[in-house]
Amino acid sequence: MTINSITLVGRVGADPEVRYFDSGKVVCNFPLAVERPTRDDQPDWFRLELWNKTAEIAANYVRKGGLIGVTGFLKIDVWQDRNTGAQRSSPVVSVDNLRLLGSKRDIDTSAANSYNDEF
């Protein structure tokens, strides 16, 4: 049995970046800062990746500084550096579920409070 599951609650570090593909798929990326238990520590930063309907919801309603909760799984993106040719990697949280947790004034409209995307 294997388990790869992650749940995070934190503040959005930048407005979402959205890309649309010819296939009709949509991807959205943005950083998330998660506070540590003690105020003296710096927050942990996570790169989030959302696809399709969840990506569209994030693009429309998530803004820098907003409080959100996400569940998903951790994956490792691997690529070759164009300048050095070295192989690079970076952890990314692939989000399955997004919850908008801010107050009503943080959210522009009264959208659904959460959205699940099936892959």
Of the candidates 77, 91, 80, 86, the one whose C-alpha atom is nearest the C-alpha of residue 32 is: 91
Of the candidates 9, 5, 2, the one whose C-alpha atom is nearest the C-alpha of residue 100 is: 9
The one-letter amino acid at 70:
V
CA distance 31 to 47: 5
| Whole-number pLDDT of residue 102 | 77
pLDDT tens for residues 29-77?
Answer: 999 999 988 878 899 999 999 999 999 999 999 999 999 999 999 999 9
Beta strand extents in 13-119 (DSSP E only): 17-20, 26-34, 44-51, 67-80, 87-100, 114-116
pTM: 0.81
Instruction: Quote the distance between the C-alpha of residue 47 and its chain's center.
Output: 6
Assigned fold of 6-76+94-106: OB fold (Dihydrolipoamide Acetyltransferase, E2P) (2.40.50)
Residue spans of the domains in the chain: they are 6-76+94-106
